[in-house]
Chains A and B, each alone.
Chain A
């Protein structure tokens, strides 16, 4: 799931059994990760899940309790931060207030006695569009400009691994979107390995090649954004990445291609590849945007054949959001499901109290072990830590 086997390429970052305990509290619990060189990797999770601690261990600002960190095959687990080929973009930027932008960016190069400080700094300032601000002090820069200086200061050293600790958290929405595109562009151009820590799942999905979802010190799931989104392996991932409807069901009939699961009333078809093996009690999941709502009684071609259907439902809430409408629909067995529909229908939106039928493709259905907590990952405090 992590792409081609990573190990000894110069920029490959490998974490083995990495654990960090603060007294009785385990912040990072036995984490194994292989991040291939040149990839944009995101560590995604709610505040307190251990992602920043993991990052700091890679940077050398924390010591692991157990485990190893290797870059390009070299064990750097206990090396001092200034001996590692790793640079960090801090959440608070940590720009040196008494030095100019130029001096900030040149800092790492000078400590390593690099020979072409001037030209390297000039190149990076051009890359991050900071040439005009080179003589200013951090206090005279806007938030977005400070963020770019922090980035330039790290990139200019061409580290094997670049760590970014929620670097976009302090920016307003529009600027954040802009910087997401910028960061991705810079990463592609420079070809460094980026490890980006964030709690913003949209940010992670936009920028990263691979995402590791972390919860309570452990990795919940690892994979490409689309893979994680369409095929969540745990309820946490299903709820944390986007939103999911989870319906309690029992597997009735397994076949080669698909299986039938029994809902409290009615049945659904789930592709066999999406079923957890060995269990019969499952959560059947479907994303709100995959569901269509059709008014009952259903007329003719309103619902194509072969789809999963939940008839006999009632709309309890409808919120018009311009682009889409968000419905809460109560099923015959009393569960409220969320539905997002794009406002494409000329028939207008449904109103609370309408009798409707829900339908969605079987391919969009996934199933998870019912032993997992259906509330995991919902409504977590997403405020920047």
Chain B
């Protein structure tokens, strides 16, 4: 792709000419990437904005799709919608339990995969990868057939089991990446400085891997809290999680309170990220 000299001179002359008369099209073309990028961001965040906005709506009918007028009603009475707060509570409980279990099991696997050479390593990697590549419909429905065949009643327990299952892989991948980025010389230095294997793990490895474990736990929680498809396959009428409640509401009637919850989640998450950044910056000082 080497241009000949005359071509290069011509190419050099052209932008100079364009600079002299900067049409809006030229500006657009130069910043084309940014234009598309900004449009993409708008595309990404518009629904979030709508959720927040419509939490302040007071709809006329059962559905919250058209803007009527501004109202703080839903915010002042967040649990007014029947069954919503119970579903929220269940989602939170399952979320915490699934996070704890999957983070523990997943971290153990991550250490095994990242630190040891053993037979069956490729097989283990494959097994970890498969749930991430399987459609939720298939995972949810297969668990359903298992539970039905074994006669296990559907409900909170089966939901929890399913959640731990699909969160595991994501925790493994997240923590493994963090462990892989750890300089092995650090643990060698600890051993050189009279730390036994356990002391090295407790004082050097664990503190340095902790951010990865935290990230994995956060990811597990958000996956569990937000899951609908797999949960729906493995739940019963008495165990409604928040996403299941929203799904039902889409057919029955969408109370404004679900937007309130959505907005609250969003704000909490943004705060958490901001705090995380501040903490990270303070730790480095």
Do A and B pair up? The answer is yes
Q: What is A's interface to B at a CB cutoff of 8 Å?
A: 59-61, 80-82, 86-88, 90, 92, 94, 96-98, 107-108, 111-112, 137, 139-140, 153-154, 157
Complex CA distance for A81 and B284, rounded to whole angstroms: 30
> What is the CB-to-nearest-CB distance from A137 to chain B, in angstroms, rounded to a whole number?
7
B188 contacts partner chain A, Cβ-Cβ < 8 Å: yes
Q: Which residues of A contact B183 (CB under 8 A)?
A: 92, 94
Tell me the nearest residue of chain A to B210, going by C-beta. Answer: A98
Q: Which of A60, A90, A107, A140 neighbours the largest number of chain B CB atoms within 10 Å of its CB?
A: A107
Residue pair A61, B194 in contact (C-beta under 8 Å): no
B204 contacts partner chain A, Cβ-Cβ < 8 Å: yes
Residue pair A90, B199 in contact (C-beta under 8 Å): no
Q: Which of B190, B193, B196, B204 contacts A157 (CB 8 A)?
A: B193
Residue pair B193, A111 in contact (C-beta under 8 Å): yes
Residue pair A92, B185 in contact (C-beta under 8 Å): yes
| In the complex, per-residue mask of B200-215: 1 if CB is within 8 Å of any chain A CB, else 0 | 0001100110000000
| In the complex, per-residue mask of B265-278: 1 if CB is within 8 Å of any chain A CB, else 0 | 00000000000000
Residue pair A137, B193 in contact (C-beta under 8 Å): no
Residue pair A88, B195 in contact (C-beta under 8 Å): no
Tell me the nearest residue of chain A to B185, going by C-beta. Answer: A94
Residue pair A111, B207 in contact (C-beta under 8 Å): no
Q: Which of B189, B191, B196, B284 contacts A96 (CB 8 A)?
A: B189
Q: Which of A82, A90, A92, A94 contacts B194 (CB 8 A)?
A: A82
Q: Which residues of B contact A98 (CB under 8 A)?
A: 207-208, 283
30 contacts between A and B (CB under 8 A): A59-B192, A61-B188, A61-B191, A80-B196, A81-B191, A81-B192, A82-B193, A82-B196, A87-B192, A88-B189, A90-B188, A94-B183, A96-B186, A96-B204, A97-B208, A98-B283, A107-B190, A107-B193, A107-B195, A107-B203, A108-B193, A111-B196, A111-B199, A137-B284, A137-B285, A139-B284, A140-B285, A153-B193, A157-B193, A157-B194
Asked if A86 meets B199 with Cβ closer than 8 Å, knowing A96-B204, A139-B284, the reply is no
> What is the CB-to-nearest-CB distance from A104 to chain B, in angstroms, rounded to a whole number?
9
Residue pair B199, A88 in contact (C-beta under 8 Å): no
Q: Which residues of B contact A108 (CB under 8 A)?
A: 193-194
Tell me the nearest residue of chain A to B200, going by C-beta. Answer: A82
Complex CA distance for A98 and B207, rounded to whole angstroms: 8
Complex CA distance for A98 and B196, rounded to whole angstroms: 19
Q: Which residues of A contact B204 (CB under 8 A)?
A: 96
Tell me the nearest residue of chain B to A84, going by C-beta. Answer: B192
Q: Which residues of A contact B203 (CB under 8 A)?
A: 107
List residues 125-156 of chain B with CB under 8 A from any CB of chain A.
Answer: none
Q: Which residues of B contact A86 (CB under 8 A)?
A: 192
Q: Which residues of A contact B199 (CB under 8 A)?
A: 111
Tell me the nearest residue of chain B to A107, going by C-beta. Answer: B193
Q: Which of A82, A112, A153 contacts B191 (CB 8 A)?
A: A82
Complex CA distance for A111 and B189, rounded to whole angstroms: 13
Residue pair B185, A90 in contact (C-beta under 8 Å): yes
Tell me the nearest residue of chain A to B283, going by C-beta. Answer: A98
Complex CA distance for A141 and B196, rounded to whole angstroms: 28
> What is the CB-to-nearest-CB distance from A199 to chain B, in angstroms, rounded to a whole number?
19
Complex CA distance for A377 and B204, rounded to whole angstroms: 41
Q: Which residues of B contact A87 (CB under 8 A)?
A: 192-193
Q: Which residues of B contact A59 (CB under 8 A)?
A: 192
Complex CA distance for A137 and B285, rounded to whole angstroms: 7
> What is the CB-to-nearest-CB distance from B279 to chain A, in angstroms, rounded to a whole number?
13
Complex CA distance for A87 and B188, rounded to whole angstroms: 11
Tell me the nearest residue of chain A to B208, going by C-beta. Answer: A98
> What is the CB-to-nearest-CB distance from B281 to chain A, in angstroms, rounded to a whole number?
12
Asked if A94 meets B188 with Cβ closer than 8 Å, knowing A107-B193, A111-B193, A139-B284, the reply is yes
Complex CA distance for A97 and B186, rounded to whole angstroms: 9
Complex CA distance for A136 and B283, rounded to whole angstroms: 11
Complex CA distance for A8 and B269, rounded to whole angstroms: 65
Residue pair A111, B195 in contact (C-beta under 8 Å): yes
Q: Which residues of A contact B185 (CB under 8 A)?
A: 90, 92, 94
Q: Which residues of A contact B284 (CB under 8 A)?
A: 137, 139-140
Tell me the nearest residue of chain A to B284, going by C-beta. Answer: A139
> What is the CB-to-nearest-CB distance from B187 to chain A, in angstroms, rounded to a whole number?
9
List 4 A-B pairs, minimum CB-CB distance, nearest first.
A108-B193, A94-B189, A111-B194, A94-B185
List residues 234-256 of chain B with CB under 8 A from any CB of chain A.
Answer: none
Q: Which residues of B contact A80 (CB under 8 A)?
A: 191, 196
> What is the CB-to-nearest-CB distance from A55 to chain B, in angstroms, rounded to a whole number?
11
Complex CA distance for A115 and B109, rounded to whole angstroms: 39
Q: Which of B194, B207, B208 neighbours the largest number of chain A CB atoms within 10 Å of its CB?
A: B194
Residue pair A81, B196 in contact (C-beta under 8 Å): no
Complex CA distance for A370 and B148, rounded to whole angstroms: 87
Q: Which residues of A contact B283 (CB under 8 A)?
A: 98
Given contacts A90-B185, A108-B194, A157-B194, 9 further A-B contacts (CB under 8 A): A81-B188, A81-B192, A97-B208, A108-B193, A139-B284, A140-B284, A140-B285, A153-B193, A157-B193
